[in-house]
Chain A
Amino acid sequence: MANENTGGFIGDLQEAFTPPAAGGCCGGPAPSASQDAAAVATSCCGETSEAEQTPQDEDRAQAPAGPAAAGGASGGCCG
């Protein structure tokens, strides 16, 4: 459902079910390029093993995520 208005979804509504991993954690900003990759490629907002697995859980394990709206670069998450 495309929407050209100032409100509502930009792009396809259904993309919200498979959002792009944007770096950062729990709504936080994206990690900077200088962060070691392994340190950000770990779970920040939960331990995936103890949650029921969903596509989102998998995303979380692979790339801690956050909205582009967070603003600013970051040192990332797990160390």
Chain B
Amino acid sequence: MLRMSSPPSASAAPPEAAEVPGLMAALEQVSAGRMLDCVTELAADRYAGRRVGTPGGRAAASWLAGRLRALGAEVRLDPFDVAEVRELYRTPVLRWSDGRQTRPLEHRRDFVEHLTSAELPDPRSAPLVDAGTADLGGCWVLAPAGEWEQACRRAEAGGALGVLTARGTDDGGWMPKMIAGPARHAVAVIGVRADLHRRLADALAANEVTVTASVPLRAVAAGAVNVHGHLPLGQGVRREGVEQEAAGGPRVLLTAHFDGVGDDPERRLPAAADNASGVAAVLEAARVLAATLTVPVDLRVSFLDAEEAGARGSAHHAPAVAPDTQVVNLDGAARLHQAAAVEAGGPAHALLAVLDRAGRRTGVALRAGAMASDNRRYAAAGLAAIGVGMGMPGYQTPAETPDRVEAATLVTAARLLVATVWLLAGTRP
């Protein structure tokens, strides 16, 4: 629900924030329905979770390019390569037996592949031993809580098969999926739900335990593609063609990554919140801005690939962005709780002040919060860059479904972006 608020004081609100002709009408054009449709589209089975380099990822890029063209944008697809993307090519196996009973465990509920794991394609059975055991050769090693790195090093040195370490879950009982991270070990590494890890320790203290497990996780190279749209907006600008700079207007880049971590081999991970929601809000903001803005703005929209693979899409793009560009990256617009998280980087002081004003114009509370996303790549390249986050229910799990993306949060996000660009248009750098 949008709440309009008055600036609290003259010192906190520059005079130009008091009234911006046309902004209110523009904000009214933001459509929750369009954004929900976009989220539902990107979360659909045919995109398979949109992992970088997959047919589903490429299909999502193609669909988004079409949406930008429909807005009148000049669209450019920018391919690039990404190395070392973790790919889970079969469902991992983990079961254990104490000689009386065999207990099969469920992937992503009871255990999960660890990003540092070596590839172990097929299930291997071996005794489970404590990490302090002298001879670890050929065994599975139960790492004490908090000491998994040391256990991995010992397991590698001792010729162990792999390591089982404790792992938490989210509030839905899922273990989120990641596809980029630290360097891999030479042994298999499996995260086991903390309570099951304790049970394993108890069983091992009382009996011999045999573990059977596989980690079909490999590192692959992937072909990625960023989707860039250019919308030079403002009265008279379009007549001069899309290649023409919006004379006198600020350069603004709105970004959101469209890739996800991808479906598991036997389970969907729809990536509705992270970041179909952000994409939907940016796309809707672009639509509204294209339809309403009457002052010059050189607006660019980039839907970035490979964020989940280490923010590689923005790393590829940032060096090519004009240095006076102001970047706003939206990562998560699915469930706003109290205040949007905002992180600023680079020479973003003026942009941050405008975002603050936009927050007050639209009734969106903002709070400093770490946003480890594409905005950091732009800031690292010397650009004024701000990351905004409004929540990701079901984050990188099968529970990250479109029905959990809140229409009100989408509207809030899109209106914040629209207001920010409107206010930037009225602010000469």
Which A residues are within 8 Å of any B CB, using their own CB? 1-13, 15-22, 24-29, 31-39, 42-47, 50-54, 56-57, 59-60, 63-79
Contact = CB atoms under 8 A, between A and B. Distances in A.
B376 A46 contact: yes
Contacts of B377: 46, 51
Interface string B323-364: 000000001100111111111110010001100110111111
Contact of B165 (A19, A36, A52): A36
A38 B392 CA distance: 23
B347 to A, nearest CB: 11
A78 B372 contact: no
5 contacts: A6-B5, A7-B5, A25-B178, A56-B345, A73-B168
B146 interface: yes
B393 interface: yes
B274 A19 contact: no
Q: Most chain-B CB neighbours within 10 Å: which of A38, A70, A77, A79?
A: A79
Nearest to A67: B341
A19 B367 CA distance: 9
A1 to B, nearest CB: 6
B168 A66 contact: no
Contacts of B352: 13, 16-17
A65 B332 contact: no
Contacts of A35: 166-168
Main secondary structure of the interface of A (DSSP, over half): loop
A69 B390 contact: yes
Given A16-B344, A38-B146, A27 B167 contact: no
B214 interface: no
B380 A54 contact: yes
Contacts of A65: 343, 369-372
Contact of A16 (B12, B165, B386): B386
Contacts of A76: 167-168, 176
B389 interface: yes
Contact of B372 (A15, A53, A59): A59
A4 B341 CA distance: 17
B380 A51 contact: yes
A59 B370 contact: yes
Interface string B400-416: 00000000000000000
Nearest to A50: B315
A26 B274 contact: yes
A42 B367 contact: no
A8 B356 contact: yes
A74 B168 contact: yes
A26 B356 contact: no
Contacts of A3: 8, 12, 356, 360
A2 B3 CA distance: 19
B310 A36 contact: no
A50 B380 CA distance: 11
Nearest to A47: B310
A75 B370 contact: no
B169 A22 contact: no
B178 A77 contact: yes
B369 A22 contact: yes
B396 interface: yes
B356 A71 contact: no
Contacts of A73: 168, 170-171
A32 B307 contact: no
A67 B311 contact: no
Nearest to B357: A8
Given A25-B372, A27-B331, A67-B332, 16 more contacts: A8-B359, A16-B342, A16-B344, A19-B341, A19-B343, A19-B370, A22-B369, A34-B194, A35-B166, A36-B165, A45-B307, A45-B310, A68-B341, A69-B339, A75-B176, A79-B114
